[in-house]
Each structure stands twice: as C-alpha cells, then as structure tokens.
Amino acid sequence: DIQMTQSPPVLSASVGDRVTLSCKASQNINKNLDWYQQKHGEAPKLLIYYTNNLQTGIPSRFSGSGSGTDYTLTISSLQPEDVATYYCYQYNSGYTFGAGTKLELK
C-alpha cells in the first residue's frame, strides 16, 4: 500500500502569509494526487485535482505542484477562512489519504 506523509502536522501562520503544505508518497504516484480542505464540523471539499488543477469555485490563492513522490499545496496569501485541516489523497495505486495538516492562525 502507498503511504502518504503530510508535513507539518500543525502549521501556524498569519493572515497574508504564503503557506506551503507538503505531502510525500512512499512511491511514485505519477501526479495522481488531490488536495481536500476540511473545516471543523464540515465535510471535506475538493481544492486541487491531479496535482495542480484548481477545482471550480476555489480561490486562485490556492495552487498545487509536484511530481514523483513529492507534492505541495500553496496558499499565496492566507485568509482567516482558510483555517482548516488539509488532506492529500493519492489514487495512483489504491486510494489513500494523508493524515492531514492542521492550519491555524498565529
């Protein structure tokens, strides 16, 4: 099974900061990776699909990149409404979520 490791587990940042969340796969996943945002008490929401494609309706401050085993979600200017837990998810071989990065305001 492919393991997905997200770092850091918790990230504190200030409004306006550029924020980078990382996700590392235990083997090459060929860019078959999505990012989901889950706010407290809500269902997850698809942000980015196939590594770098912005889902309809998602603000352009969110972007994704990566290849091979290493992937990144970037928020160019953190907004208060971005406080959430972010999960990466691979579908290259089986279907696996990372453990999440909890993004907090400093």
Whole-number minimum distance, CB 16 to another protein, in Å? 28
Residue number, 76 or 95, with CB nearest to another protein: 95
- Looking at residue 43, the DSSP 8-state letter turns out to be -
* Residues at the contact surface with another protein, assessed by CB under 8 A: 32, 34, 36, 38, 42-46, 49-50, 55, 85, 87, 89, 91, 94-100
DSSP assignment of 68-100: TTEEEEEESS--GGG-EEEEEEE-SSS-EE---
Residue number, 19 or 51, with CB nearest to another protein: 51
Whole-number minimum distance, CB 70 to another protein, in Å? 20
Coil, helix or strand at residue 13: strand
Cβ–Cβ under 8 Å, residues 105 and 75: no
Residue number, 17 or 45, with CB nearest to another protein: 45
